[in-house]
Amino acid sequence: MKAPTSADITQRTRMCMLANAMTALAQGIPFFHAADEFLRSKSLDRDSYNSGDWFNRIDWCVCSCVDVVVCKSVVYFSVLFQVGFVFG
């Protein structure tokens, strides 16, 4: 399922958080792709396996940047994972 192209960053962030909350709090073992909490996109590349390290690299220091939306998402995911761990 894809978000509409007219969706702004706030709407896309809420969609990402809701989708991952359903995964985290559902029964069973949740599976998350690397860097979902950073709202990471691979520029719509469906298969980035052969795209090289520069394309697939994860910037683990992204929360130290000025992007408040990404920092809020990282905090949200950390709390979500703790809740899932305690009650899962």
Query: What is the pLDDT tens value at each position of the chain, 88 positions in all?
Result: 677 888 888 888 888 888 888 888 888 777 777 767 777 666 666 677 777 777 777 766 665 665 778 788 888 888 887 887 777 5
Among candidates 64, 58, 68, which has minimal Cα distance to 10? 68
Residue 27 carries which DSSP code? S
Tokens representing 71 are 């920092």
Residue 75: Cβ within 10 Å count: 12
Q: Map out the domains of the chain as residue ranges.
A: 60-88
